[in-house]
């Protein structure tokens, strides 16, 4: 019998987080990483 896994991803303003859970809801792995927010400026000629 095969095991089902679920991946949840949350990408926010300053970080991204992920979690892997099995079918009954047990957390298998969690990861988080920080990143910068980029504000692009319009090109002026």
The pLDDT value recorded for residue 29 is 98
Domain ranges of the chain: 5-34
pLDDT tens, residue by residue, 1-45? 689 999 999 999 899 999 999 999 999 999 999 998 888 888 887
* 18 CB burial (10 A radius; 0-12, 13-18, 19+): middle
The pLDDT value recorded for residue 34 is 96
The pLDDT value recorded for residue 1 is 67
């Amino acid at each position: 019998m095969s095991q089902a896994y679920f991946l949840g991803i949350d990408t926010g303003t300053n970080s991204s987080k992920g979690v892997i859970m099995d079918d009954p809801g047990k957390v298998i792995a969690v990861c988080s990483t920080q990143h910068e927010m980029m504000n692009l400026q319009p090109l002026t000629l």
